[in-house]
Amino acid sequence: MKIIHQNGYSVDELALYRHTIYKNLVDCAKALIGAMRQFDVEPDDSRNRENCEFIMDFSVDPDPHQALDSKVGEAISSIWSDTCISRVFDHQNEFYLMDSAPYFFDEVKRIASPDYIPTEADVLRARTKTTGIYETRFQMGQLSIHMFDVGGQRSERKKWIHCFENVTSIIFCVALSEYDQVLLEESSQN
């Protein structure tokens, strides 16, 4: 909504998402490697065994101004290109992987460059765990729209009721791409 109704993001605002995108990229790679291990899928390229170990041991630097290590980008790119990935995706509804993971993997070389500034497309695909309630207000013709982003984690769901006071309409948005995926917090439930 910010992009459509509030003139988008400034370069400084985009830069604030860099750490989140680095974290999403590495977390997605770790989830993919975890699925490879869960389903006994070995990399076809023997160098990717080392790349998998490197990624699993890697932690994103908490400093939001720190660039991503270029070796991380190279390792993820190599793993993503490995022919074994199609065998992992045969099980894609049996493990959690962000729906934007393929996008980030395809863009890994750009994201891992030292002068990386996220694009609006990157920001749209970035995910953070929402805690609390965030409100965005905008005008659409004569209507004043108040949009609330509420936490999706179980502990946050009790707080939703407070958003419904003096409301005339509610629109729930869900991801169609996740209808057959397991929950991140409970892998035996959809």
Separation CA 71–CA 80 (nearest Å): 14
Is 184 flagged in the annotation as binding? no
The residue to which tokens 């869960």 are assigned: 38
Is 130 flagged in the annotation as binding? yes
Is 71 flagged in the annotation as binding? no
Are 64 and 19 in contact by the 8 Å Cβ rule? The answer is: yes
Please name the helix (run of DSSP H) or strand (run of DSSP E) that holds residue 15, with its range, or none: helix 11-15
Encoded tokens for 114: 């030292």
Is 61 flagged in the annotation as binding? no
Are 17 and 122 in contact by the 8 Å Cβ rule? The answer is: yes
pLDDT given for residue 172 in this prediction: 74
DSSP state of 154: G
Is 99 flagged in the annotation as binding? yes
The residue ranges of DSSP E strands in the chain, in sequence order, are 133-140, 143-150
Is 127 flagged in the annotation as binding? yes
Is 151 flagged in the annotation as binding? yes
- pLDDT means per 10 residues in the chain (190 residues)? 61 85 97 97 96 97 90 98 95 90 97 94 85 75 77 64 75 72 62
Separation CA 132–CA 159 (nearest Å): 8
Q: pTM score, two decimals? A: 0.77
Is 129 flagged in the annotation as binding? yes
Q: What is the 3-state secondary structure (H, E, C) of 65-112?
A: CCCCCHHHHHHHHHHHHCCCHHHHHCCHHHCCCCCCHHHHHHCHHHHC
Residues 6 or more apart whose CB falls under 8 angstroms from that of 103 comprise 121, 125
Are 127 and 57 in contact by the 8 Å Cβ rule? The answer is: no
Encoded tokens for 74: 């190279």
Are 36 and 73 in contact by the 8 Å Cβ rule? The answer is: no
Is 27 flagged in the annotation as binding? no
80 C-beta neighbours (distance < 10 Å), count? 18
Please name the helix (run of DSSP H) or strand (run of DSSP E) that holds residue 29, with its range, or none: helix 18-38
Domain map of the chain by residue range?
8-125, 133-178
Is 100 flagged in the annotation as binding? yes
Is 12 flagged in the annotation as binding? no
Are 183 and 190 in contact by the 8 Å Cβ rule? The answer is: yes
Is 49 flagged in the annotation as binding? no
- Whether domain 8-125 has CATH 3.20.20.70: the reply is no
